[in-house]
Structure 1
Amino acid sequence: MSSRYSDNGSSSSQEARAMERAPLMAPHPPKANQLSIRTTSNNARNINIMVLTVFLSSIGFTLMMPSMYGYLNSVNPKYGDRYNGWATAIYSFGQFVASPVFGYWGNRRPTIEPVVFSLVIALIGNALYATCSSFGQAFIPMIFLARFLVGVGAGNVAVCRAFASEKSDISNKTQVMGKMSGAQGAGFVLGPALGFGLTYVHFYIGSLPVSKFTSPGYVSVLLGIVNIIFVVIFFRDQPSSVTPISSPVVQSINSVQDEEVVAIKKPEGPEEDRLAVYISIYLFAVVISIFAVFESIMAMMTDKYYGWGPRANGLLMGCSGVLSLVVFFAISTPLIKKFQDRKMALFGFFNLFIALLFLASYDNGPFNWEKGLPKWQLFIGAVFVSIGYPISSSMMYAIFAKILSPKQQGTKMGWLTSGGSLARMLGPLWATALFVDVADDVLYLTCAGLTASAFIVLCIFYKRLAPHSDYINAQIQKDQQQQQQDDMSHDDDYNDYIENYNTTPHGGSIYVRDDDLSISQ
């Protein structure tokens, strides 16, 4: 009995001493907008570094595309036709394997660890790519290993997406994920353009040749070093929670200030809907597969119908890429908040479906409606692809990020990235088989049917793809906290007014109304 009273007395005395040490007039807490600005600024800087990482990783995927075929043929004229497809696919296989691993790592450890490690792996792969011609008979195994390592390094995209999703709330998540998608799209567009410019490079560093074949590897090494420097110097992740101070006085003062140094502790809620997760991965894989088919078959198709070479194809793909970048940019602006993610995704799939109908030639088989593929039909199809792909891919990123529990998204973001990598790896293989061995109209109509299936699945499970309840609860909590801070700010203004009035030499009487404060002399 005495022990219990003794403990209570000790606790009361500690609280009393804490209250005595607390200042009588505690400084006013920072205004809500000041806290928001500082928190938003820190998160925005970290997210932008993740966006930079995704951008440079996308460049690494496409930088070698214009010259890798020639690189293989420079060692053996038969290597290009035999191994180019496999050298391209093995990159996606590396990303497919590594994405869930890095995502899981990002859940368990600080984000910077898997990001820096993956960048180092990619740097080693790019350096090996630049020098693998010196391995003689082992050239093919070395170039496969190099592309695999670069693909493994690209698995950090899962970590970057998870971080950006976790550091954004439901009010700006679509905008943030749109920025992430735009960075990836920009890398896919600028990578081949930069690779084409490197085809004019030829000099030596000592005994090492820097040619149109090896320079993409060396440039990727430099970009990787720059990326590592930016991450190490400027990336400052914040812990998710802190242990509160037990003193009620100090705790009440610091409760408003905690947002300045830590993110709000994520609410504990139910796990995400697993069926919605799998459906989202399927829908995302359809988007990536359709775009991979468009990229891989376009040159073969234009050569077949128009006899176009790399310059004309580059112009077509460049114009399509510019249009896609414009759409990506629009999605990354606050304008996108006016539209629902799922409705925008349906709109994106509809555009892809229309594009594939235009790209089919209808000149053989059961159709035989036209001779060849008119150029106007090709251009319209390319326009619809350039609009549909950025919308559907960005919206699927946003939908997936919102249906996940906000606590730890790394592993499941790895699943999404692996699904896209698998589609990017397999899509060109079956598309080439259909184009060469069957007919291009069968190919594009098959792709149109695949897109239609995605549209129907999205309609059927429309409600299942709604945001996770934790995001809704967190937004309600955030609005309530904002209201409380606004009320405190109003009380502070009122107290300042009273203090100023009491110190005025003229005196006067105070009339207080609900909507105004005034003095009558």
Structure 2
Amino acid sequence: MGGTLGKGGSWVVDHSMDEIPLSVSIGKSDLRHGSIASVSSSDPPPYDEITTSLYETPKQKRARKRSHLVAYTTMFVMSIGFSIVLSGVWPFLQKLDSTLEKDSLGLIVAANPLGQMVASPLMGLWGNKAGKIRFACLSTVTFFICGNVMYSLLYAFQDAGGRVSYWAMFVSRFIVGVSSANVTLCRSYLAGSTTLKERTSGIAIIAAAQSLGFVVGPGIQAVMTILVPGETYTAGGWIIWDKFTACGWVAAALGLINFVILTPWVFQEFNIAEKERALMQQRRGTDKDIKLPKPDYLPVVGILFSFFVSIFIFVLLETLAEPFVSDQYGWEEDKCMIVVGVSLSVGGLIAFGIFPMSGVLSKKFDERKVMLYPGYIPLMLGTFLLIPFAGKDIPIAVCYNTTTTMEPTTFSTESYDMADYRNQGILPYSDEDGETCTLGCPESQEWCNDVNQLPLPQLAIGYLIVMFGYPLVQSLNMAIFSKMLGPKPQGLWMGVLTAVGSLARVLGPLFVSAVYTMLGTVWTFSILFVGMVLAFIELHLLYRRLVPMNLEEIQGHDGPAGKEKY
């Protein structure tokens, strides 16, 4: 309690400091209203409790929690921007340019994560230098809106000749990818605006928001397909409203809403990390800036590797799903799209439900153990179950030249009974050369003749097990990574983390074409399983170093940080 001179020179009592203890070395029993705490108490309250009680009023805490909701919403909208076009991008490409082959799809799919990978470290550095994320986020959301509007106007490039419309789509998706680099800013902001006690739950929620966006995006495309079956021409015919462009306009509208909630009237920034450093200065009785230790780089790199591996398995399953079931079971295209779409949505919902569990479990158990055992073990087990060990033969696509003969033109040394294929539900289709072919693994993939079909129940069980472990690994990887960096601006490091995840999303389609197409399922999932095992082993070896930066006994020199000695 103190006082100031008011009007007329009167002494006015100031009660604004009544709730703030005069010493940080205080016991819980001394926290009385207006009391002067004893400096010599030997039972100080926990560090995290001191931080919040010293620096945050209930009103400020509510505003800080509201700012977290804005960060969660931004992550949700950015992930929708990536996923909303996934199921429609190939038919849209064919409509823009019917001469395009399927191998042209990979670059378009990779454009978004490529833009994010390039921009993420730069956005993180921008956030660090500025000390605030608002302007950087507003800039990226503007890119998001422009990229989706450009996607909706691609018909305007259709008559330009060459492959102008193709490259226009690439640019539009790349711009949206650049905009999604603001997930780096959201993660770094959350790391700086949460206490150690809150951080794991906060990062789990932000990961869940991103996962929910991946579920909602394809759903919007499905709804637009039903609601907008035809085409509507406006503005001289170059603005066309259909099921493809509608998704771009919906995404742009969501971006506009996101822009509004990032304005100062809704979004206020808070930095608990700065207050933590000020607290440490008080505890040491000095006004000099405390030099935090450097992060322990070896476990930081270890976390980055495990983060890459866990995202890679998810991206590979997402990318490989449709061609995999088409090859393995000889299903028609519509059936593949429906089954894969439903499966990915179910997996996304499972992940959305489990992400928050990481925060709950980490409050009861060591979060490193939660990451390794309920997290990595299901990932390894699920990946192992995707390796075919026994089963029926994979159906091979057999083509007939309907203009000359009805005898098989493929694998002429063997006899094929078309009735058998029809009885199995593997119906013939006609290709561009006038041949009629059964569905199944194409002749170019020679490994299909030597590898067993993966039983469908085994595939379903393996996929579900992976989706139970993936959310725990993802959220706790990010939480431990953030805690190891300590109370310092984390924009650049979060940019590196996001870039590593983007690299996995870029390499996923390339891995499918290079390894799966040439070598098959056994090699593909065996390599993934080995990667998971290596990540599990290296995290076990680094276990004692996967700890938060030691904020209780800062020594003021560089070196490995952590409460545990190793």
Q: Which residue does 2:504 correspond to in 1? A: 423
- Output the amino acid matched with 1:283: S
2: distance between equivalents of 1:103 and 1:69? Answer: 33
Aligned: 1:408 with 2:489: yes
SS at the partner of 1:66? coil
Q: Aligned pair in 2 of structure 1 residues 439, 16: CA closer, same or farther (>3 Å)?
A: closer
Q: How does 1:272-421 map to 2 (within 5 A)?
A: 272-306=295-329, 307=331, 308-332=335-359, 334-347=360-373, 348-362=375-389, 371-421=452-502
Query: Any gaps of 5 or more consecutive residues in structure 2?
Result: 20-32, 34-52, 280-287, 394-445, 555-566
Q: Give the secondary-structure state (helix, strand or coil) at the position aligned to 1:209.
A: strand
Instruction: Give 1:121-520 correspondences, 5 Å limit.
Output: 121-135=143-157, 136-137=160-161, 138-200=164-226, 201=228, 202-204=230-232, 206-207=234-235, 208-232=239-263, 233-238=265-270, 268-306=291-329, 307=331, 308-332=335-359, 334-347=360-373, 348-362=375-389, 371-470=452-551
Q: Supply the distance in 1 between the matched residues of 2:172 and 2:379 (Cα, whole angstroms).
A: 34
| Alpha-carbon distance in 1 for matches of 2:289, 2:207 | 25
Match of 2:141 in 1: 119
Pick closer, same or farther for the CA change 1:413–1:35 going to 2, 3 Å: closer
Instruction: Provide Cα deviations, 1:274-333, integer angstroms capped at 9, x if missing partner.
Output: 22222211111111111111111111221122314211222222222221121123235x
Deviates more, 1:388-397 or 1:127-136: 127-136
Residue 409 of structure 2: aligned partner: none
Q: Distance in 2 between matches of 1:27 and 1:116?
A: 35
Query: What's the counterpart of residue 114 of structure 2?
Result: 93
- Tell me the percent identity: 28
Tell me whether 1:29 sits opposite 2:29 in the alignment. Answer: no
Report the TM-score when normalising by structure 1.
0.78
Cα offset for 1:382?
1.2
Residue 17 of structure 1 deviates from its aligned partner by 8.5
For normalisation by structure 2, the TM-score amounts to 0.72
> 1:95 touches 1:421 (CA, 8 Å); kept in 2?
yes
Offset from partner CA, 1:27-84 (integer Å, 9 cap, x none): 6724759955333212111111011000100011100001000011002223251321
SS of corresponding position for 2:551: helix
- CA separation of 1:189/1:68 partners in 2, compared to 1, >3 Å: closer, same or farther? same
| CA–CA separation in structure 1 for the residues paired with 2:16 and 2:196 | 33
Supply the distance in 2 between the matched residues of 1:45 and 1:369 (Cα, whole angstroms).
57
Letter of the aligned partner of 2:232 in structure 1?
A: Y
Between structures 1 and 2, the one with greater helix share: 1
Say whether the 8 Å CA contact 2:486–2:548 is kept in structure 1.
Answer: no
Q: 1:123 deviation in Å?
A: 1.1
User: How far apart are residue 374 of structure 1 and its match?
Assistant: 1.3
Equivalent position of 2:85 in the other structure: 64
CA distance change for structure 1 residues 266 and 353 in 2, over 3 Å: closer, same or farther? farther
Answer yes or no: is the 8 Å Cα contact 2:155–2:240 preserved in 1. Answer: no
Asked if the contact 2:307/2:477 (under 8 Å) is kept, the reply is yes
SS of equivalent to 1:469 = coil
| Paired residue type of 2:325 | T
2:108 partner amino acid: A
- Determine the structure 2 residue equivalent to 1:40: 61
CA separation in 2, counterparts of 1:472 and 1:186?
40
Is the CA contact (8 Å cut-off) linking 1:57 and 1:154 kept in structure 2?
A: yes
For residues 301 and 481 of structure 2, the distance between their equivalents in structure 1, rounded to whole angstroms, comes to: 10
List runs of 5+ in structure 1 lacking aligned partners: 1-14, 244-254, 257-264, 474-521
Q: Note closer, same or farther for the CA distance 1:273–1:206 as it changes in structure 2 (3 Å cut).
A: same
Instruction: Tell me if the contact between 1:54 and 1:184 (Cα under 8 Å) persists in the aligned partners.
Output: yes
CA contact (8 A) 1:95 1:152 kept: yes
